[in-house]
Amino acid sequence: MNGDKWADMKSLAEEIIGLKEMQTFLEAIINSSEDAISVVDAWGNGMMINPAYTRLTGLTSEHIIGQPADADISEGESMHMKVLQTGKPVRGVHMKVGPKNKDVIVNVAPVIVDHVLKGSVAVIHDTTEFKRLTRELEKAKRIIRKLEAKYTFQDIIGTSEPLIHAVEQARKSALTPATVLLRGESGTGKELFAHAIHNESTRRYNQFIRVNCAAISDQLLESELFGYEEGAFTGAKKGGKRGFFEEANGGTIFLDEIGEMKFNTQAKLLRVLQEKELVRVGGSKPIPVDVRIIAATNVNLEKAIQNGTFREDLYYRINVMPIFIPPLRYRKEDILPLSLHLIRKFNQEYGRAVMDLHPQALTRLQDYEWPGNIRELENVLGRSIINMKFSETHILLGHLPELVNRKAPLEGPLEVVSIQENEQEKLSEILSRVEKETVLRVYEQTGFNKTETAKRLGISIRNLYYKLDKYDAC
Ligand SMILES: Nc1ncnc2c1ncn2[C@@H]1O[C@H](COP(=O)(O)OP(=O)(O)OP(=O)(O)O)[C@@H](O)[C@H]1O
């Protein structure tokens, strides 16, 4: 072997050692990544994956190497193929991968050597943890929401004339200490308005307490609102307990579903309004309180007075500043801005990137009567987004659930719920299951309208609240 050849071989050997070192280096880097990585060649066949990829998808080298790039995809198109076709990187695409249908976000970049496309490399982030944290955050926010007034007038979406009128009245009322009566069907935004009024008022740094008069049993409501003294009843706490009115001193109390309050409790409430003081259950000492009352109802209080279930004197006391919140069917121009607002909310909750509604889908929403109002719209959009593929960004007609206007929602028999043959199931369990199915089905059929649901099932609204709470559907 002459000297030149020897030198060539030596430099080739050094190059190979260098390349091997480089390869080991690269493999170590790729394998140490906590994000899943997959590499395909110019034809879209799998070349390399790292351990994080196997942990995330459950797929090993045997499933991937030499296989087409879409072998791991359970929902969505292959981003490797897209990058190989266009030669351009893609970022932040949501998709589902592997047999476990894992939700992931993918970034894919082309590998170009000397101007020639040689393949592509994908970095895949698992969004499960992110979603869990988002859920936790939402839960924490829900708890905080219960403790404070979260919404302001900025959160009330809509530009229709009747809504603007209601907002203007509410803004005016916020500047006064007057009692406000919010009237409107279920799901129209009465609670939202109550929050906004409190937050715009001088009481905004003090407590906002929401009490659903229909969700608390008659016996409990009085002691929850006005508190009780030690020994007031069996089971009363030692030292007694402050009620919501004392807790809300200096702030606002929001009495939702006030039409459900029983006569005796109404008399006590009247006293707070007139005298600005209360007497705890089982006590005799008057306690001064300074609380602004915002009440809400979706029942006809005038009729309730005629029926003898609502006190006329209390009615005049709370009806100082009535505000009517219009149902959604009378302000269809609000459907688009409301939908876009709700879509943004769902994007955050579900980690999606939905941008808009197709005009046909919007027309369908505008043709519908919305017995459950904005709460129902929220539900319909949430379900539509669940029906969408991760790569889709526009809600199409086909994504919407069936929306049928019911001319006479209170008529028509209830469907018979089938009882599955199950020898293990006790009668009480069968009854409970059938009750749950029936209540939830009618609640859904009425567009989540509680008044209509209670009417249709022939139960009181209080009983309905109890059942919805029991089945976690409040
Ligand atoms: N104008 C609006 N803009 C944005 N969101 C709204 C609007 N109105 C209502 N919503 C939303 O719709 C849902 C129902 O509203 P809310 O609970 O305030 O209604 P409600 O009239 O108090 O219902 P119910 O009588 O059944 O208690 C909530 O999630 C609320 O945030």
453 lines ligand 1 (CB under 6 A): no
278: helix, strand or coil: strand
Which pLDDT score, from 0 to 100, does residue 74 have? 65
Domains of the chain: 33-126 (3.30.450.20), 136-326 (3.40.50.300), 332-399 (1.10.8.60), 410-474 (1.10.10.60)
Amino acid letter, residue 67: Q
- Number of residues written out for the chain: 474
Question: Pocket of ligand 1, candidates 151, 155, 163, 192: which has the most ligand atoms within 8 Å of its Cβ, to mutate?
Answer: 192
- Residue 290 CA to residue 207 CA, distance in Å, equals 12
Question: pLDDT tens digits, residue range 9-23?
Answer: 878 888 887 888 888
The string of pLDDT tens digits covering residues 85-119 is 999 999 988 888 877 778 888 999 999 988 899 99
Q: Kind of pairing, strands 116-126 and 102-113? A: antiparallel
Structure-model confidence comparison of residues 438 and 132, the more confident one: 438
How many whole angstroms from 158 Cα to the centroid of ligand 1?
12
Q: What is the band of 246 on the pLDDT scale with cuts at 50, 70, 90?
A: very high
Mutate to test the pocket of ligand 1, among 156, 168, 191, 254 (most ligand atoms within 8 A of CB): 191
Q: What amino acid occupies position 300?
A: N
On the 0-12 / 13-18 / 19+ scale of CB atoms within 10 A, 367 is exposed
User: Model confidence over 161-182: pLDDT tens digits?
Assistant: 999 999 999 999 999 999 999 9
Q: Is the pLDDT of residue 414 over 70?
A: no
**Is ipTM > 0.95 here?**
yes
> Is any ligand 1 atom within 6 A of the Cβ of residue 378?
yes
The Å distance, Cα 1 to ligand 1 centre, comes to 89
pLDDT at 409: 46
Q: Could you read off the pLDDT of 258-305 as tens digits, one per residue?
A: 999 998 899 999 999 999 999 999 999 999 999 999 999 988 899 899
3-state DSSP assignment of residue 184:
coil
Give yes or no for a contact between 32 and 122, defined as CB atoms under 8 angstroms apart.
Answer: no
Secondary structure (DSSP) of 295-336? EEESS-HHHHHHTTSS-HHHHHHHTTEEEEPPPGGG-GGGHH
> What's residue 455's pLDDT?
86
**What is the mean pLDDT of the segment spanning 194-201?**
95
Evaluate: CB of 188 within 6 angstroms of ligand 1. Answer: yes
Rounded (5°) CA angle 297-300-304:
105
Among 112-121, 139-148, 279-288, 343-352, where is mean pLDDT lowest? 139-148
Query: What is the predicted pLDDT for the residue at 466?
Result: 82
d(CA 285, CA 224): 17
How far, in Å, from the CA of 115 to the mean position of ligand 1? Answer: 57
* Helix (H), strand (E), coil (C) string for 108-121: EEEEEECCEEEEEE
Q: Per the structure block, which two tokens stand in for 431? A: 């009854």
Tokens 């089971």, located at residue:
235
Whether residue 170 contacts residue 153, with contact meaning beta carbons closer than 8 Å, is answered with: yes
Does the pLDDT at position 48 exceed 80? Answer: yes
Q: What pLDDT was estimated at residue 170?
A: 97
Question: Which residue reads 């003898």 in tokens?
Answer: 308
Amino acid identity, position 407? K
pLDDT of residue 416: 47
